[in-house]
Amino acid sequence: MEAMLYSFLAGTSTVLGAMVLAFFGAPGKRAMAGLLGFAGGIMVAVSVFNLMPEALELGSMPVLVVGFLLGCGLMYALDRILPHAHLSESDHLDVENPERLHGKSSGVLRTGYLVFAGIALHNIPEGLAIGAGLESSPELGLTIAVAIGLHNIPEGLAVAGPLRAGGLSGWKTMLFTLGAGLMTPVGTAIGLLVFGISEAFIAGSLAFAAGAMIYIVNDELIPQSNRMHSHMANAGLIAGLLTGFVLVGS
């Protein structure tokens, strides 16, 4: 129950991104760079300082390596099969003027649907990461949920921007954004059904979650944040890394 609550809150944080866009417009590049960097730092710290050592303790080095590579491989496959928009790509969402594409509504709306589908699929392994963390300890599960929740706020912006620019109503945009986020608890539920099989499976799942999160950080968060504002991105990454280390080490 605790795992589902954490993953639900982390997943539905995508709606916060849509609400920010609806009421205030998209945040500035400095703020977005800092937020993305901070989320990335926490995810790296949790993966390297907790998930991987825990996976090694419960399983073995081969289990850790295979699980980690499978996590990276799944995220790579999802990117190849159904790539999703990045906030720093102006063809999908201009963070300064999120509705500047309104004139090309049909094409932009289609882009919005593709962004929604891509992010929804990417959120399933993130839910698995929360469940795997909670199998290790409540504190680790909460830390992962917070990091993923922070990561999901800009993802909500990425979903809502092209949908609104394509002419979709505010309420429908909110519903699509919520739907993408709710795939996070779906991933957690899938994990909870199989985590009890063996310690080796739990170890592999922890390593899988680490691989998926490291891939997300390197493929999305760090490049996007640096393109927006490199100094704020580095400041956010350092703060997130230290915060994550303190949380998993306490």
Note the pLDDT of residue 96.
42
Note the pLDDT of residue 240.
85
Is the pLDDT higher at 135 or at 103? 135
N- to C-terminal Cα separation, the chain? 24
Structural domain boundaries, residue 244? 2-249
- In DSSP notation, 155-199 reads HHHHHHHHHHHTT--HHHHHHHHHHHHTHHHHHHHHHHHHGGG-H
Tens digits of residue pLDDT in 194-229: 766 677 777 887 888 888 889 888 887 788 889 888
Note the pLDDT of residue 39.
76
Note the pLDDT of residue 51.
80
Note the pLDDT of residue 50.
78
Note the pLDDT of residue 115.
65
Assess whether pLDDT exceeds 60 at residue 84.
no
Assess whether pLDDT exceeds 90 at residue 61.
yes
Note the pLDDT of residue 70.
93
Note the pLDDT of residue 59.
86
User: DSSP secondary-structure letter at 89?
Assistant: -
Number of domains in the chain: 1
Tens digits of residue pLDDT in 143-175: 888 888 887 887 777 677 767 766 778 888 889
Note the pLDDT of residue 98.
42
- In DSSP notation, 123-167 reads HHHHHHHHHHHHHH-HHHHHHHHHHHHHHHHHHHHHHHHHHHHTT
Sort residue 28 into left (φ over 0), alpha (ψ -120 to 50) or beta: beta
Tens digits of residue pLDDT in 13-50: 888 878 877 777 666 788 878 877 887 887 788 789 87
Least confident of 79-88, 133-142, 223-232: 79-88
Note the pLDDT of residue 132.
77
CB 159 within 8 A of CB 115: yes
Tens digits of residue pLDDT in 85-134: 554 454 444 444 444 444 445 555 666 676 677 677 668 877 877 887 77
- Output the average pLDDT for the chain: 78
